Amino acid sequence: MVFNDHRDFFEVLERENELARVKREVDWDGEAGAISRKTFEHEGPALLFEKIKDYPEGYRISNGTSGTWSRVALSMMLPKKTPIRKIYKEYEERIDIKIPPRIAKKTNAPCKENIMLGNKVDLNAFPAPIVHEGDGGRYIGTWDVVINKDPETNWTNWGMYRFMVHTKNWLTGWPQSTSQLAFIMKKSYLPYNKPMPIAVVLGTDPLSHIVATAGIKTFEDEVDHVGGLRGEPVELVKCETSDLLVPAHAEMVIEGELMPDKIAPDGPFGEYPGYRSGTMCAGVAVKVKAVTYRSQPIVTMVCLGTPPDDSSIAASLTAAVAMKKGLLRHGVPVTDVYVPPEGVTHLIVIGVKKGGTEIARKILDYFTLRRIMTNKHIIVDADVDVFNMGEVLHCFATRCHPGRGILYEWYEGRSNSLTPFYSPEERKKLKGVSVAFDSTWPPEWEKEIVPIKASFKSIYTKETIDKVNKNWESYGIKI
Ligand SMILES: Cc1cc2nc3c(=O)[nH]c(=O)nc-3n(C[C@H](O)[C@H](O)[C@H](O)COP(=O)(O)O)c2cc1C
């Protein structure tokens, strides 16, 4: 079943025991967030808070719709227990298929059930949560899809960027200067001092949210890739105050203009690396011109923090597949790439057919030349299962030479200021460093000097392995 909206997906989550409906009233001010965080930390279900303090019956908050591999599998119409390797493979195959969207009539679009326009706009009418204690404000945009368009090329970008309620008709946000939203602003609006129309979309089909977290190539429309992943076009509808097209089945669409001449306080926020993001910073200001929403709207939240959560899981998938394709294009003989959610996209495992210093250098170059926010890269031989962190750590511990096997490179202007270990000075300059841990056997070593792995698969003859496998049940050992 292809999901058109958040509500369809909840039905399946509920059937598959992946959803808890919280019927008791909860406070938007910290309580919904704290419950969500505790649930993530116990790998619990997605949540739907059905009664929110200070808000009318039916106004709801959700959390964690993509917070486990089972939910990601279900959103891709795969069985709940699909192994991570298979989820990666499906995504890798489907993400390159492009199916353009279908345009719906406004009268048929659920997101137009209610419309607030102009001076009627009141963002306080919606239960935007204080997600974590210490956040700079009420974040209405966390698990969102933010849409903006380049008028010069007609390219439409979808990205996931945080947005906070500033007043009843202003939002502030923090799209990083390296984001595609910022790229379009700098390219086609700032030079002309023009406001840029944007739409912050909450609660649409799960794959749209997942793809919004992905680093899709510049000048490519994410919505076409969502169509490919779903195998069906996404239905879009025109905004009320701009020509942007937004998912017709969304819970809420906040239409506004990002101002070229204003900066506004944003943050701090409990962020995806698992820490609060420093102090308040200078963010962008969005004047809200309309809000369209479904009756009994659901504000989609992700209570970001220590993994796992939707961010670390979704980014594991989208980042790994993008990196694998990129590294192959860069001439690296990659077998697999895994981004362990626990490493919050800072740590990447790369399996290669042939390793060595030259390949490690090539991998490092790939990462330091791009807008990629990773920093530690463990390179392993093809006999290691990159999805098995036990095997990866064993390989790293035993094959990475602490003198020759560690290569690093500094760069400036492209780093991620949310990376916890950078100093305040480094963050200001977006100064970063990438390291490769070459955990492969040197390709110049003769076969005879490469140590033989003492594992069942590697150290016995085929004859012994076959014999043991054939007789396994008769030994009476359960594994
Ligand atoms: C929950 C969540 C919140 C995010 N918030 C931001 C943000 O506020 N600013 C930002 O630049 N990137 C943010 N990101 C990362 C971007 O979504 C990611 O880099 C994505 O590729 C951006 O799209 P783009 O490549 O089209 O710019 C967030 C990711 C997640 C999962």
Find out whether the beta carbon of 180 lies less than 6 Å from any atom of ligand 1: yes
Question: Domain for residue 13, yes or no?
Answer: no
Q: Within this chain, do residues 116 and 247 fall inside the same structural domain, yes or no?
A: yes
Q: Are 177 and 230 in contact (CB under 8 A)?
A: no
Find out whether the beta carbon of 311 lies less than 6 Å from any atom of ligand 1: yes
User: pLDDT at position 372, please?
Assistant: 65
* Confidence bin at 249 (pLDDT 50/70/90): very high
Q: pLDDT (tens digit, 9 = 90+) per residue, 10-32?
A: 999 999 999 999 999 999 999 99
* Confidence bin at 369 (pLDDT 50/70/90): confident
Average pLDDT over residues 308-315: 97
How far away, in angstroms, is 273 Cα from ligand 1 center?
Answer: 12
Q: Within this chain, do residues 186 and 280 fall inside the same structural domain, yes or no?
A: yes
Q: Within this chain, do residues 256 and 348 fall inside the same structural domain, yes or no?
A: no
**Which residue range forms the structural domain that includes residue 369?**
330-443
Question: Domain for residue 99, yes or no?
Answer: yes
Provide the 10 A C-beta neighbour count for residue 222: 22
Question: Domain for residue 71, yes or no?
Answer: no
Distance CA 429, CA 40 (A): 34
User: pLDDT at position 1, please?
Assistant: 79
Enter the pTM of the model. Answer: 0.96
From 293, 322, 340, give the residue that closes a domain: 293
Q: In what order do the strands lie in the sheet with 19-22?
A: 19-22, 46-49, 60-63, 298-301
Q: pLDDT (tens digit, 9 = 90+) per residue, 41-72?
A: 999 999 999 999 999 999 999 999 999 999 99
Q: Within this chain, do residues 354 and 284 fall inside the same structural domain, yes or no?
A: no
Question: Domain for residue 138, yes or no?
Answer: yes
> What is the distance, to the nearest Å, from the Cα of residue 229 to the centroid of all Cα atoms in its chain?
15
Q: pLDDT (tens digit, 9 = 90+) per residue, 414-441?
A: 888 899 999 999 988 889 999 999 999 9
User: pLDDT at position 96, please?
Assistant: 96
DSSP state of 30: T
Give the pair of three-digit tokens for residue 180.
């595609």
Give the pair of three-digit tokens for residue 45.
């279900």
Q: Within this chain, do residues 138 and 236 fall inside the same structural domain, yes or no?
A: yes
User: pLDDT at position 370, please?
Assistant: 73
Q: Is 215 a residue whose pLDDT tops 70?
A: yes
Q: Is the link from the previous residue into 100 a cis peptide, with omega within 30 of 0?
A: no
User: pLDDT at position 79, please?
Assistant: 97
Give the pair of three-digit tokens for residue 283.
């963010």
Q: For a pLDDT cut of 70, what percent of the chain falls above it?
A: 100
Q: Within this chain, do residues 342 and 286 fall inside the same structural domain, yes or no?
A: no
Q: Within this chain, do residues 364 and 241 fall inside the same structural domain, yes or no?
A: no
User: pLDDT at position 414, please?
Assistant: 83
How far away, in angstroms, is 215 Cα from ligand 1 center?
Answer: 9
Question: Domain for residue 252, yes or no?
Answer: yes
Question: Domain for residue 387, yes or no?
Answer: yes
Q: Are 294 and 111 in contact (CB under 8 A)?
A: yes
Instruction: Report the CATH number at residue 413.
Output: 3.40.1670.10
User: pLDDT at position 371, please?
Assistant: 64
Total number of domains in the chain:
2
How far away, in angstroms, is 356 Cα from ligand 1 center?
Answer: 34
Q: Within this chain, do residues 183 and 258 fall inside the same structural domain, yes or no?
A: yes
Question: Domain for residue 167, yes or no?
Answer: yes
Is 398 or 428 the better-scoring residue by pLDDT? Answer: 398
Q: Within this chain, do residues 351 and 428 fall inside the same structural domain, yes or no?
A: yes
Q: Is 39 a residue whose pLDDT tops 80?
A: yes
Question: Domain for residue 227, yes or no?
Answer: yes
**359: phi > 0 → left, psi -120 to 50 → alpha, else beta; which?**
alpha
